Amino acid sequence: MTECQPVTAQLPSGPVRGVRGDDGLLLFRGVRYGTAERFQPPRPAEPRSDAALPGPICPQLSSRLEAAMGPPRDEAPQSEDCLHLAVATSALTGARPVLVWLHGGGFLSGGGTLPWYDGGRLAADGDVVVVSVNYRLGAFGYLVHEGVSEGNLGLADQMLALQWVRDNIAAFGGDPANVTVFGQSAGALSTLALLSNPDSRSLIRRAIVQSSPDPAIIQERATALEIGRYFVDAVGGDPMTASVDQLLAAQQRTLRWNAAKDPTSTRPPFGLVDLEVRLSDPLPDLMIGYTTQECEAFAIGVPDAGIRQAIADQTDPLFGRPARDLAQQYGAYSYEFDWAPERGGYGAIHCLELPFLLGTPESWRGSPMLGDTSWAEVERIGAQMRLWWTEFARSGSPGWGGASIRIGNSLPALENMR
């Protein structure tokens, strides 16, 4: 997309510049919403006036799902000063539904401002405002160690981003009273945690939970402390003053140590700690779903056939069954994403629905999980999915009829799951 001219949003704290694309969409790719010292809770920050370029993402190692998704097309800058978000909107006036995206990556990798998660197609197709959030990851966001970090800092970042949305989204043509949080994988589990906290629950009207792992994987504090002790020993010095490279090297050692204890486990060593997922009245409008072969993504490249199969066999107990149980418990709309490429790819694996909702043709070009699928085929399914997602954000119902649906290769002849 060719960018034609600058555009300015007038926030309560001052002007923020973005760009207007040649399709008329307004993009603010690097809006600062907070700041934080290392291992400290976040606090609000004055936004930078120029948000035309993406903000940096949290320092991180390569994604464990790079073999499935491919590497990001553009190498994003990394910095501990990463509390930025991106906004896509069609106009700065009006009161459109707002969708706030929380990316996945096992609490270890990713960033809302990456091109994969560009919200332009979603914003344009559904006439909504899309906000994509960076938050702290790995040890930077989820270390638990006495006297260093209490954990769940990445979750605190997300809560601060929702407060920013409440206070500022009207300046981007959004309705702060109609906010849908939608997240995938770690972002989906984060969404459930935010809904379980009264302080953040009041900021959310609706939620879409995509491929959340079973909330039972949330670590107990004792386990997180054990991991934290290993990590700090691996740093070999004071984690408060160690370099970013030293912290990432210690994180890599911690990942290997943790994986050696159970090669079939998909649970990352850093993540949510000591939290209970329990939604209370008034319940939000909910939509919950998963992909048919989620865990095949984590088995790619594993040399041992027995371990590969053990990982793949976790799809239903780790993703499918918890999603169905949550949908039934809370009366949510539910879906199973069963589309798969006809040639190449790995089946309907974890993350496969993402190109249908977010990103650009360029950002997903060559993604191994799409196989030889043309972008026209992605758009054939994706255009309908984006309408379902944005209609849910607008009204609380995706409009597909019935409570549940299977999304496969045969659109528009969709199979209802009764």
Output b/e per residue, 121-150; b: 16+ Cβ within 10 A. bbbbbbebbbbbbbbbbbbbbbbbbeebbb
C-beta neighbour count of 401 within 10 angstroms = 9
**From the candidates 294, 296, 336, 353, which is the catalytic residue?**
294
Q: Give the count of alpha carbons within 13 A of 138, CB side only.
A: 26
Gap between the Cα atoms of 45 and 35, Å rounded: 6
**From the candidates 63, 90, 350, 367, which is the catalytic residue?**
350
Residue 185 annotated in active site? yes
Residue 294 annotated in active site? yes
Residue 146 annotated in active site? no
Encoded amino acid at 178, one letter: N
**From the candidates 149, 185, 211, 363, which is the catalytic residue?**
185
List Cβ neighbours of 87 (8 Å cut-off, separation of 6 or more).
9, 18, 26, 27, 28, 31, 51, 129, 130, 131, 169, 172
As beta bridge partners, residue 132 has: 86, 101
> Do β-strands 96-102 and 129-133 pair in parallel, antiparallel, or remain unpaired?
parallel
Gap between the Cα atoms of 374 and 349, Å rounded: 18
The string of DSSP codes covering 67-110 is HHH---SS---B-S---EEEEEES-SSS-EEEEEEE--STTTS-
Catalytic positions = 185, 294, 350
